[in-house]
Amino acid sequence: MRILLVGEYSRFHNSLKEGLQELQHDVTLIGRADNFKNYPIDISLEATFFHKKIPNAFRQLLFKVCKIDIAFLEITYRFFKHRKSFQNYDAVQLINEFPFATIPFVERKLLKYIFKHNKNVYLSSCGDDFHYVNFILNANLPYHMLTAYENDKSTKKWFQYSLQYLSKAHEKLHHFVIENVKGIIPANFDYEMAYRNHPKVLPLVPFPINVDLLPYEPLQYDGKVIIFHGVNQVNYLKKGNNLIEKALHIVEARYPNRVEVKTVSNLPYSEYIETYNSAHIIMDQLYGYDQGYNALEAMAKGKVVFSGAEKDFLAYYKLEKPVLMNATPNVDDLVEKLSHLIENPQEMIAIGENARTFVEEFHEYKNVAEQYVECWFSLSELENRA
């Protein structure tokens, strides 16, 4: 089968591509490299010309005066330059309803071409979009990715990327995409609960993790627990990094000789994933109900991850042993859980082992790729019979 993957976040589509290729499918990944993370792309649409000094200065000046990013012109040019490579696939998956990260008007133009030349297009729900942002702001949830903004509207600048989806332009884009896709596939419970009653929602398919590229090493304890905190400054408040930092300061003061904290910011993916190799504990995020991609990769390496592990996640996987620590936006709760692991290192080591087993059982990239293929083609077959 010929499969086109459109867009990339957190290496999700790269791992899915690798799983599909192991199943002997022909896969092409197009899009942009997700900013500083710099993920591999088969056909890159990145606006490289405007990264040069003089064009970039002109770009920044124009944006400051007119609020127009002319780099989108290069992205559009690159798309239509390669347009014949985007036709007649057996299945297409969009990583988001805004996969090229331009502006809604440009996205509609590019996606219109995809829809026109491909019959079976699906949408992954694995990040912010119009429907998801509206859901979390109106649902009665104890916390969510925009809780810090709701508690303090002066933090709005930290949430501009998420809040943009509330605009009329993004609403129009959302409805355009939903009209043209065959189905919506949630990648974890944060997104499944938002789309649970949507007429086009399909069963959850978990994130694929290429465990072959993530060697497992049992945690070794020599009297000091190493805690890793990787920060993406754009999502600083959205992920709860401010609360994580407060908790880590308390833990460092409480256990000065038994803890080492490593904090890094905005590292490229290849450097990021190597930097935390020596760590026992990974601080991921506080406002999730399930794990994101970075958390799962750390779990695959046998790390003890602080991330989402709420009741829907626990019930779905029927877990008998802890595979991670449920991280909530509560500094005292974080300090208590970290202190428990520091004082009980054998329990920490066991959780790391459980984490690897969990990822191998439920997120192994070839098995997950098979689930995607079944999801895409079973729906297409049913429609052809109807």
CA distance 23 to 272: 29
**Statement to judge: residues 184 and 327 lie in one domain:** no
> In the predicted model, what is the mean pLDDT of the chain?
91
pLDDT of residue 386: 46
Name residues whose C-beta falls within 8 Å of residue 326's C-beta, 6 or more positions apart in sequence: 307, 308, 309, 310
CA distance 261 to 224: 10
Residue type, 228: F
**Statement to judge: residues 349 and 379 lie in one domain:** no
**Statement to judge: residues 111 and 217 lie in one domain:** no
pLDDT at residue 183 greater than cutoff 80: yes
pLDDT at residue 222 greater than cutoff 50: yes
**Statement to judge: residues 72 and 133 lie in one domain:** yes
If one compares 135 and 72, the residue with the highest pLDDT of the two is 135
pLDDT of residue 342: 98
Q: pLDDT by residue (tens digit) across 98-136?
A: 999 999 999 999 999 999 999 999 999 999 999 999 999
Mean pLDDT of 233-238: 89
**Statement to judge: residues 52 and 147 lie in one domain:** yes
CA distance 174 to 5: 19
**Statement to judge: residues 282 and 198 lie in one domain:** no
- Please give the model's pTM, rounded to 2 decimal places: 0.91
Spatial CA neighbour of 181 closest among 103, 128, 121, 238? 121
Give Cα 297 distance to the centre of its chain.
11
Give Cα 257 distance to the centre of its chain.
35
Say if CB 334 and CB 314 are below 8 A apart. no
Name residues whose C-beta falls within 8 Å of residue 285's C-beta, 6 or more positions apart in sequence: 239, 240, 292, 295, 307, 308, 327
What percentage of the chain has pLDDT greater than the value 70? 90
CA distance 266 to 11: 15
SS3 state of residue 31: strand
Give Cα 182 distance to the centre of its chain.
22
**Statement to judge: residues 200 and 293 lie in one domain:** no
**Statement to judge: residues 19 and 165 lie in one domain:** yes
What the block records as the tokens of 42 is 């088969």
pLDDT at residue 52 greater than cutoff 70: no
Relative orientation angle of helices 345-362 and 293-300, to the nearest 10 degrees: 110
**Statement to judge: residues 80 and 227 lie in one domain:** no
The answer to which of 3-7, 37-41, 222-226, 328-332 has the lowest mean pLDDT is 37-41
Q: Which residues constitute the domain of residue 381?
A: 2-208+365-385
**Statement to judge: residues 72 and 168 lie in one domain:** yes
If one compares 38 and 218, the residue with the highest pLDDT of the two is 218
If one compares 54 and 165, the residue with the highest pLDDT of the two is 165
Mean pLDDT of 263-270: 82
CATH number at residue 302: 3.40.50.2000
What percentage of the chain has pLDDT greater than the value 90? 80
Domains in the chain: how many in total?
2
pLDDT of residue 74: 85
**Statement to judge: residues 84 and 180 lie in one domain:** yes
Beta bridge partners of 326: 307
**Statement to judge: residues 201 and 161 lie in one domain:** yes
What the block records as the tokens of 126 is 């694995």
pLDDT at residue 348 greater than cutoff 50: yes
